[in-house]
Amino acid sequence: MQPNLRPITRETTDVSSAPGDSNADLHRHQESVPLPHGNRADVRKLSFWYGKTQALKEVNLPVVDRKVTALIGPSGCGKSTLLRCFNRMHDLYPGNRYDGEIRLYPEDENLVAIDPGLVRLRIGMVFQKPNPFPKSIYANVAAGLEVRGIKKRSVLDERVERALRHAALWDEVKDRLNGSAYGLSGGQQQRLCIARALAPEPEMILFDEPTSALDPLATAKIEDLVQQLAGEVTILIVTHNMQQASRISDFTAFMLMGEMVEYGNTDQVFTAPEDPRTDQYITGRFG
Amino acid sequence: MTKPHTLTSFDERLDGLSEQLRSLATTAGTMVDGCLDAFLDKDCAAAQAIIHRDLEVDRLEEAIHADVMDILARLQPVSSDLRLVLAVERAASNLERVGDKAKSIAKRCLALDGAAPALTQDTLDLLRGLERAVSKMLEDAIASLTRRSYILAADVEARDSSADDLYDDLFHHVVAQLQQDPANAAVNVHALFVGKALERIGDHAANIAEEVRFLLRGRLAGAAGESPAES
């Protein structure tokens, strides 16, 4: 079921340049990077334990580059646990344990074996509820850049504007960048969080039920944004809303009780899933 | 055994849709069963009843279309539910066309104005053989849907070529009759059109069987990976 995509051309930021150098920081070039099967990442036999409780059981999952992969499944199935493995959030709590690999390409590094700080510099995350910092709109978006050592104002200005434009928020906030992020609506705050995640130009963005706290219009804007972003960044999204998964994702993975039951093209999973458990879940014959 | 939906009204709606299709299939089936006899027996009353029954077929088909639209809009079915709704929708359209063909045959009875068709025994046998074949195909196509039988559906589809062959036999026979007996050309041409209508009923039965295979496997006929194994 793993899609066999041809090697792609990836646009990268030249990270060898000095931070703060606008020309260098903004120097982007086309680099031909062959990715195995077009995957940005591969989860291989990943198991995870919260203390003594096993939450993931030898999970396998390809994450196709610059596509949207949705993780679906009932509460407690392990989808958010899997998502949080990608940016090593579990490392923040004692007693948690990984076994297996998440290979990140093209470097072919095991995400769960390298410095979590480095992982988080490369993989952004957007949470269920908008969580802007108690700062200005500008400062929220610039925060991730400053952590990476980018201080030069002209560079920050350009990157902040670019991220806000990518997050489809620029036109709504360009005249009040120094205003509090808390003055924005819920949907705007969530798009601000997406801009904050986009600003450092991550290789992958993780979305953990990003619209569950939003109204239908704000939800539609986020869904549209996710689809727009997919051409530029690899997206992994956890959602309880199966219509949302079917609308915006290219690939869907169904999890149950810590196991990966089925992975495939979204149209195939939602019209003719291979596993009867997937059919039972997505048709609402579960439990 | 399929588990019930957590939302019980979902099951009720799908059951209701299937029940409507059964009613449509029954009505269209009775039209097919009676149309050839009406034509051959110059039974204009029976023909009128068949023509009138087509209105019921049209009404049932429209009700199914409306129900399908409502289910798609409100329940947003996916996977096997979506395939069931689509299969019922397409089967209903095919059954409506079956009704049209049966009506077309009945109308030829009226066109003969009560005159007994002067057809040869061979022509009669060919027509009756074709009618038996396509009636059985239609009956089995509906049964394959009701019983969710992949094998029966595949069998119905396979029988379509036999029905085509029967029609070809009829065609060649009637063409010969037209040359040998020009005085009865009109009734022989009517018989040919009746045969063509029966052959088309077989096509619609095969289409319904194809929908059953789509329902059970989620792949259209001829798609890669199709194999005639029982579901």
Tell me which chain A residue has its CA closest to the CA of residue B77.
A283
Q: Which two tokens stand for residue B15?
A: 């059951």
Q: What is the mean pLDDT of chain B?
A: 91
> Rounded to a whole number, what is the distance in Å from the CA of A156 to chain B's nearest CA?
45
What average pLDDT is seen over chain A? Answer: 87
Mean pLDDT confidence for A68-77: 96
Within chain A, where are the H helices? 22-25, 79-86, 116-122, 137-147, 153-166, 170-173, 186-198, 216-229, 242-248, 266-271, 276-282
The percentage of chain A sitting over the pLDDT mark of 90, rounded to a whole number, equals 78
Q: Is the pTM of this model over 0.90?
A: no
Q: Can you give the pLDDT at residue B114?
A: 60
pLDDT tens for residues B144-174? 998 999 999 999 999 999 999 999 999 999 9
CA of B26 vs chain A CAs: smallest distance (Å): 29
* CATH code of the domain occupying B10-217: 1.20.58.220
Which chain B positions have a beta carbon within 8 Å of A279's beta carbon?
Answer: 79-80
Q: Find the Cα–Cα–Cα–Cα dihedral A11, A16, A19, A23, rounded to 10°.
A: -60
Q: Say what the pLDDT of residue A37 is.
A: 79
Residues A236-255: b if buried by 16+ CB within 10 A, e if exposed? bbbbebbebbbbbbbbbbbb
Would you say A100 and A47 are in contact if contact means Cβ atoms under 8 Å apart? yes
Length of chain B: 231
Would you place residue A6 in the very low, low, confident or very high pLDDT band (cuts 50, 70, 90)? very low
Q: Whole-angstrom Cα distance, residue A69 to residue A41? A: 11
Cα A159 vs. chain centroid, distance in angstroms?
Answer: 19
| Count of C-beta atoms within a 10 Å radius of residue A9 | 9
- Closest to A59 (Cα-Cα) out of A36, A24, A84: A84
> How near does any CA of chain B get to the CA of A271, in Å?
4
pLDDT of residue A36: 74
Q: To the nearest whole percent, how much of chain B has pLDDT over 90?
A: 78
Q: For residue A20, what pLDDT is reported?
A: 37
CA dist A104 and B46 (Å) reads: 75
Segment A177-192, tens digit of pLDDT? 999 999 999 999 999 9
Domain ranges, ordered by start, for chain B: 10-217
- Residues of chain B under the 70 pLDDT cut: 1, 114-117, 220-231
Determine phi and psi for A40, rounding to 5 degrees.
Answer: -80, -30
CA distance to partner chain A, nearest, from residue B217 (Å) = 7
Distances (CA, A) of A151 to A141, A143, A146, A184: 13, 10, 6, 26
Closest of B41, B22, A228, A193 to residue B50, by C-alpha:
B41
What is the structure's pLDDT at A213?
86
pLDDT of residue A16: 31
Q: Are B61 and B53 in contact (CB under 8 A)?
A: no
- In 3D space, the residue among B40, B181, B202 whose CA is nearest the CA of residue B105 turns out to be B40
Contact B217 A272 (CB under 8 A): yes
What are φ and ψ of residue B143, in 5° steps? -65, -40
Residue B89 structure tokens:
């929708």
Residue with tokens 């939003």: A214
Task: Give the number of residues written for chain A.
Answer: 287
Which helix (H) or strand (E) covers residue A98, if one does? Answer: strand A96-104
Helix axes B44-75, B8-40, angle to 10 degrees: 160
> Which of A138-142, A255-259, B32-36, B181-185 has the lowest average pLDDT?
B181-185
Do B6 and A284 make contact, defined as CB atoms within 8 angstroms? yes
Does A246 sit within 8 Å of B79, measured CB to CB? no
Confidence of residue A287 (pLDDT cuts 50, 70, 90): low
For helices B8-40 and B121-147, angle between their N-to-C axes, nearest 10 degrees: 170
Q: Does the distance separating the beta carbons of A273 and B79 come in below 8 Å?
A: yes
* Structural fold of domain A8-282: Rossmann fold (3.40.50)
B83 to A271: CB separation less than 8 angstroms, yes or no? yes
What's the rounded mean pLDDT across residues A8-18?
A: 31
Among the ranges given (A112-126, A194-208, B104-118), the one the predictor scored with the smallest mean pLDDT: B104-118
Question: Predicted confidence band at A15 (pLDDT cuts at 50, 70, 90)?
Answer: very low
Q: Is the pLDDT of residue A29 over 60?
A: no
Neighboring chain B residues of A273 at a CB cutoff of 8 Å: 79
Mutate which of B2, B71, B78, B217 to test chain A, going by most A C-beta atoms within 10 A? B78
Both tokens of residue B121?
């025994």
d(CA B91, CA B24): 10
Contact A48, A56 (CB under 8 A): yes
CB–CB of A279 and B5 under 8 A?
no
Which residue does chain B place closest to A269, by CA atoms? B79
- Residue A87 DSSP symbol: T
Query: Which residue, B109, B117, B103, B133, is CA-closest to B202?
Result: B133
Minimum-distance CB partner of B6 among A270, A271, A287: A287
ipTM comes to: 0.77
